[in-house]
Amino acid sequence: MTPTPLRFSLGKLVRLFLAVFLLYGILYKAADYGRGRMGPWILTFDEAPSGSPRVTINHDKLQIRGVQIVADGDAAVPDGRGPATVRFRSPADEPSFGKVLFTDLTFLPGVITLDFFGHEVEILPRVLVINRKSFAWSQAKEFRLLPEERLPGGPLSPQKRKQLGREFP
């Protein structure tokens, strides 16, 4: 008994191509919807009444509203940097002041790690991490960062974070 060879006509190949193309389009749209359905972190960079730099964190779907981080002490808002609101949708989004150390915005809201005047501030959907100490979003509405609370050696560089993984305290 000899096996029969497969016979594909041009019409069958075109239909197969169109079916795969349609399936790819549907899956791509579904993944894109899932990636952005929660929406981005909304960070407002401005000046507190005391004159210290402040970042206010909001996310409507996670019901996080008005969580403020104020850098007290020797920190000052850089000249020419007025209040700004940034919606972190892509790694290209930059804060008004401070420095982005790491972002993972594959699925929004994602993770954002900032060097906020020598303090490491990590914004995650489940917790807020300040200088490697975790705080539940419901714990407080305002965090004051004092100069003596800065991490020795400052925040970790992206290369060092990658090297250590999640094993740092």
Q: Is 142 a domain residue?
A: yes
Give pLDDT, residue 167: 47
Residue 157 lies in a domain: no
On the question of a cis peptide bond just before residue 169, with omega within 30 degrees of 0, the verdict is no
Asked whether residue 12 is domain-assigned, the answer is no
What counts of helices (H) and strands (E) characterise the chain? 2, 10
In the chain, how many domains are there? 1
Long-range CB contacts for residues 57-62, cutoff 8 Å, separation at least 24: 57/123, 57/128, 59/109, 59/125, 62/38, 62/109, 62/125, 62/137
Q: Domain range spanning residue 105?
A: 41-149
Q: Give domain status of residue 78, yes or no.
A: yes
Tens of pLDDT, residue by residue over 129-164, are 998 889 998 877 888 888 888 877 666 666 665 655
| Residue 88 in domain | yes
Distant-in-sequence, close-in-space partners of 123: CB < 8 Å, separation ≥ 6: 41, 43, 57, 111, 112, 113, 114
In a domain, 155, yes or no: no
Q: Pairing state of beta strands 142-145 and 64-71? A: parallel
pTM over 0.85: no
pLDDT at position 68 is 92
CB count within 10 Å of CB 131 equals: 16
Phi and psi, residue 152, nearest 5°: -60, 125
Q: Over the stretch 72-120, which tens digit does the pLDDT of each residue have?
A: 877 777 777 778 888 988 888 888 888 888 888 888 899 999 888 888 9
From CA 84, how far away is CA 99, in angstroms rounded?
Answer: 14
Higher pLDDT, 166 or 144: 144
Q: Is residue 2 part of a domain?
A: no
The answer to whether position 164 is within a domain reads no
